[in-house]
Amino acid sequence: MNYEQLFSARGKHVQSPRLAGVNYELTFNWGYPDPACLPNEAVLEAAERALRTHGQDPLQYGGAMGNPKFADQLVEKLRRDQKMDITRDNIMITSGSMPILGLMCDLFVNVGDTVIVEAPTFLGAVRVMKNAGAKVIGIDLDANGMKLDQLEAALATLKAQNITPKFIYVIPNFQNPTGLTTPVERRQAIIALAKAYNTIILEDDAYYDLRFRNQSLPTMYSLAGNTGVVYMGTFSKILSPGMRLGWAVGEAGLIKTMSTMKVDGTSPFSTHIAEEFCKEDGLVNNIAKVRAIYAQRCEQMQDALSEFMPAEVKWTDPDGGFFVWLTAPEHVNIADAVTKARARGVDFQIGVPFFADGRGQNTARLSFSYVPFDQMARGIQIIAESIREVM
Amino acid sequence: MNYEQLFSARGKHVQSPRLAGVNYELTFNWGYPDPACLPNEAVLEAAERALRTHGQDPLQYGGAMGNPKFADQLVEKLRRDQKMDITRDNIMITSGSMPILGLMCDLFVNVGDTVIVEAPTFLGAVRVMKNAGAKVIGIDLDANGMKLDQLEAALATLKAQNITPKFIYVIPNFQNPTGLTTPVERRQAIIALAKAYNTIILEDDAYYDLRFRNQSLPTMYSLAGNTGVVYMGTFSKILSPGMRLGWAVGEAGLIKTMSTMKVDGTSPFSTHIAEEFCKEDGLVNNIAKVRAIYAQRCEQMQDALSEFMPAEVKWTDPDGGFFVWLTAPEHVNIADAVTKARARGVDFQIGVPFFADGRGQNTARLSFSYVPFDQMARGIQIIAESIREVM
């Protein structure tokens, strides 16, 4: 059967598969949690409490939210930690945060519509946007996030063509892939531009709780006065990616529409077990624990980079999150360094796929979240030697 | 913020929310599993094995399929039970089966496109199709499924308007809501019509394993020679809806495209625990157990209907599944009977929402899967008395 003849306009745009994982002895490639941060025993205890004291609910059908008590815990967490002024009507719970990207595209993006992202930005988000048929425009970053002049110029150019971008996708804390944080003033300026050009912001704050130093910054959702911003987050970095739990925050009417569009209910199984896990400061204590581990990992990577990298190579020193962004001199082809490192069992990610336009050949993302502690220095040494060889 | 001004064509069609659940003392309304069929202790034991012997995998990121070993078990199950000639390349695993409906709409349906369904059919499917902007055409059922003359006439009328329906959605076994089964000859005739009019079939076989009597019938996927049919199924009726596990079967190329379009990975947590549950005939034994329970429930409902219903009321006697379809004389308004029954604490579902066009005022769906065993007769008696009162 020739299925393509029946495809939708969107179906004809499906061309961005997931990056395939290849196993190397040591990988700095993926934004995976440290296995030591995955609380198998505590989750098992939570499963025991949920399956023995919640009756049929964990295994039965649930509503769009899964377990409403878990939704209450999430509201409490976001009010306490993120200082967001929200109620239950402002949130939806999804299977990880990826479906929020999918729903944003379903709700806003016709094939051919434009969205704006940071350049570089999170690969997985661009994959979803492109598969939905979006034209993705990247705005370069400086040390403080999206370059305002470039953002304003892009918005003005689009307006001159009668195009309103459907949303501006921003990762303001410890950005993936750069590790950079957008300060309050820049956040406010981006919000002002979005308002001026009649569009909205999709704020992806996957790493908010993993701040190692300095004060937490107010979310763009709060800075915008709780309107014109959809805020997305995830339990993947603070509990478990395997359990697939994420959330969106937005104005009540919009959340209601997204919830209507949402095809599947959220897992009662995961949300009942998560409720038990989060009780009695379970989540609070877990966040404190994993934050300390990632802070130590980041410091370890910074030390190794300082020790082994050629002087001409620069890298970021993030305030939190999982990632360091490395920039070699312009003539250096990092692809060759990756090949050399892989031959020695060490994998890392060239920066190119994080850009929409083939740039980034002299850049790389190094994840400090996953490599075994005692292999961090050796791995960075091998990467440094590989880069030195191609310089 | 006025978000609507930014909505996609699809976003403007989001208007079909989930049916809200209201609690009554006894409900014949929902297709919920019997709580006695939800294996809390066995799932807990499976969770213990998965979390203690699968290392980081249940809580870590996984691929599009979740746990590949669970995918292998599913292939084995479909080859053995459904007699399907498939390999791993023919399946995808999703969070329940609803996302298959979503992906089929993403891949095939532009706003305004036509799809064909049975009338009556599964509410949740129509909700997803309508929210994707599809025009939904219902084909009446006789005792053997879709009326062929009506299906052919609809296809011919559409063809004369240059319209190819994107798919024909069929529930061939113990249909929701009628309980009817489409025999092999009718399945073959529907396949022939789909081929002749260049469209495909979406075969929803949620209840395949819950056959109480007579031989299992070959799937439409197999009857069509493994082409032109997407087959969808679920673990919701044979393991647990709360764990959100479902699957699609299709030609390898199409499954690859659907998998690329799929936004989120499938839960490693649920698929690792499910793998342990299914091992050593765990799933086989559970299917045998729940099949016997639902067979007994169905018989019990048939007995109660025979005892209490007015002679003018007809109902189906399904070979499997969860549902009986009840038809009162044409002048009877079942809505009034529902009101009367609810006043006595008993809820059931009028047939109207299962049709696309407001028909079905004298019909009802009765689910025998969920009401406590010892309340079945009393509940049916109250429904029968309510119907008698409005006759």
Per-residue model confidence (pLDDT) at position A285: 98
Q: Tell me, what's the pLDDT at B13?
A: 83
Determine contact: B188 vs chain A, CB below 8 A: no
Give residues with Cβ within 8 angstroms of A68, minimum separation 6: none
B126 CB neighbours in chain A (<8 A) are: none
- Determine the pLDDT at residue B65: 83
Residue pLDDT, tens place only, A265-274: 899 999 999 9
Q: Which residues of A touch B272 (CB under 8 A)?
A: 242
Q: How far apart are CA A254 and CA A227, in angstroms?
A: 10
Answering whether pTM is above 0.80, one says yes
Q: Which residues of chain A have pLDDT under 70?
A: 19-22
Q: Of A257, A316, A376, nearest to B14 (Cα)?
A: A257
Contact B260, A16 (CB under 8 A): yes
Q: How far is the C-alpha of B45 from the C-alpha of B48, rounded, in Å? A: 5
**Which of A38, A92, A380 is CA-nearest to residue A241?**
A38
Letter for the amino acid at A240? Answer: S
Chain B residues within an 8 Å CB radius of A254: 3
Rounded percentage of chain B residues whose pLDDT exceeds 90: 93
Query: What is the torsional sign of CA B2, B7, B12, B16?
Result: negative
One CATH from 1.20.1250.20, 3.90.1150.10, 3.40.1160.10, 2.60.120.1600 for B20-39+285-390: 3.90.1150.10
Q: How many Cβ atoms from other residues are within 10 Å of residue B235's Cβ?
A: 26
Could you identify the residue written with the tokens 């691929």? B63
Partners of B108 on chain A (C-beta within 8 Å) are: 6-8, 11
Between CA B359 and CA B276 the distance in angstroms is 46
B273, B277, B280, B285 alpha-carbon torsion, rounded to 10°: -170
The alpha carbon of residue B256 is apart from the nearest alpha carbon of chain A, in Å, by 9
Predicted pLDDT at B362? 98
Q: Measured between CB atoms, which of B40, B99, B243 is closest to A263?
A: B99
A293 contacts chain B (CB < 8 A)? no
Domain boundaries A22-39+285-390, CATH class: alpha beta
CATH placement of domain A40-282: 3.40.640.10
CB-based contact A93:A74 (threshold 8 Å): yes
pLDDT at residue number B327? 98
Which positions ≥6 away from A140 have C-beta within 8 Å? A119, A146, A147, A150
Cis peptide before A99 (omega within 30 of 0): no
Name B377's Cβ contacts closer than 8 Å, sequence gap at least 6: B300, B303, B304, B307, B308
Q: Do A11 and B107 touch (CB under 8 A)?
A: yes
Tokens of B291: 């099949």
**Angle (nearest 5°) at CA A11 between A6 and A12:** 90
A116 pairs with which residues across the strands? A137, A168
Q: Where are the domains of chain A?
A: 22-39+285-390, 40-282
Residues 35-54, chain B, touching A (beta carbon < 8 A): 35, 38-41, 43-44, 47-48, 51-52
| Helix ranges, B34-136 (H) | 40-53, 68-80, 98-108, 123-131
The per-residue pLDDT for A19 is 65
Count of C-beta atoms within a 10 Å radius of residue B18: 14
Residue-level pLDDT, tens digit, chain B, 391 residues:
899 999 999 999 887 777 666 677 899 998 999 999 999 999 999 999 999 999 999 999 997 788 999 999 999 999 999 999 999 999 999 999 999 999 999 999 999 999 999 999 999 999 999 999 999 999 999 999 999 999 999 999 999 999 999 999 999 999 999 999 999 999 999 999 999 999 999 999 999 999 999 999 999 999 999 999 999 999 999 999 999 999 999 999 999 999 999 998 899 999 999 999 999 999 999 999 999 999 999 999 999 999 999 999 999 999 999 999 999 999 999 999 999 999 999 999 999 999 978 899 999 999 999 999 999 999 999 999 999 999 9
